[in-house]
Amino acid sequence: MPAPTVPRPPASYRPSDPLYSQQWDMTTIGMPQAWAQTGGVGLNTLPITVAVLDTGFVNSPELAGRVVGGYDFVHDPARAGDGDGRDGDASGVGQYAYHGEVVANIIAAAHDGRGMAGINPSARIVHVRVAGTDGLIDPQDLADGLRWAAGITVPGVPANADPARVLNLSLYADFIPLTGCDARIQNAIDAVNARGALIVVGAANDGADASGYSPAGCRGVLTVTSATQQGTRPGYANWGRPVALAAPGGETGHGIPVSSLSGPGGVRAPEGTSMAAPHVAGVASLLLSVRPRLTPTQLRGLLTRTASPFPGGRCDPDPARTCGSGTLNAAAAVRAALASSLGR
């Protein structure tokens, strides 16, 4: 009698969310193949907490039931726009509030047949508001937000009951010269690294060397620049030695399709390294969901080693304008993590 046929798992998984057909970024990084390896909708994965240090919380239906805790670290009442300084309400205020919303949705939007599909639909999000209504970030607010997000005590602030394993920073600190990493931010990064959390940072959008920016130019972060759908560096995207890899960030007229309560018809298509970073943070959380003991160093190795090569071997005709090891490849990263003994 012949042996029973064991059905093979699907080679790819396609979410039913209506915006997914426009999400070129997800197919570019191999998310359909990555999802297939992890059970499609996260049924076989652990829920990993990701901190979004940004403009704050927006009540997006894409994240219903998976937003935990949160805190507002904007100390200046004049810039906070909510009538006081630091407080336990992490809600975004003002014209830039959508920024933190779309970053979080790229990481974790539900696969529920409504809106967009996020990278890790089982992830939990903790919003850490560090940007004022002007969109600017005070270095001390950022340093304290970093510590708190990872579960480190910050004087005068209640403990974070939901420490994050991955921190996404689609930002850079203002009010300081762009001449190198700010010492306050570097000290906070060192403390977060010691806690075993990965910090993913956008390289910034000035078409310049990222080395002078905080935190993109700091030690101990995974700095991400933008790539177009073709795998090249858009002109706005920062570059240089600190950049570890690239991820879809879009370009003029061809941004990253995302659900947003503030967008026409509930959709936006922003561009920038702010959009590139959460692709990496989302994939990092997916790797942790299947290999929960991975360290930040091991995560960095998996993400950079499995990146897809740039066309012709470089992201930019100028060899000085480097973009790291390649473009994020989620399918290859998940495959490598599952095949490895790391993080078991």
Residue-wise over 37-48: b if at least 16 C-beta within 10 A, else e?
bbebbbeebeeb
Q: How far apart are CA 206 and CA 214, in angstroms?
A: 14
285-296 burial, b at 16+ Cβ within 10 Å, e below that, comes to bbbbbbbeebeb
Write down the catalytic residue from 54, 72, 138, 182.
54
Side-chain half-sphere exposure of 19, counting CA atoms within 13 A: 25
Is residue 111 annotated as part of the catalytic site, yes or no?
A: no
* Active-site residue (options: 274, 285, 308, 325): 274
CA distance 107 to 206: 24
Q: Residue with structure tokens 């996020």? A: 118
- Which stretches within the chain are classed as H helix? 24-28, 31-37, 77-80, 98-108, 139-149, 183-194, 273-290, 296-305, 330-339
Q: Which of 18, 8, 12 is nearest to 32 (CA)?
A: 12
CB atoms within 10 A of CB 18: 14
Tell me which amino acid residue 47 is. P
> What CA–CA distance (Å, rounded) separates 166 from 163?
9
Q: At residue 166, what is the residue type?
A: V
Residue 25 bears catalytic tag: no
Angle between helices 183-194 and 139-149 (to 10 degrees): 0
Gap between the Cα atoms of 129 and 209, Å rounded: 27
Q: Which of 17, 72, 82, 99 is catalytic?
A: 99
Kindly state the tokens that stand for 181: 């990493």
Q: Confirm whether 289 is a catalytic residue.
A: no
Active site amino acids: 54, 99, 274
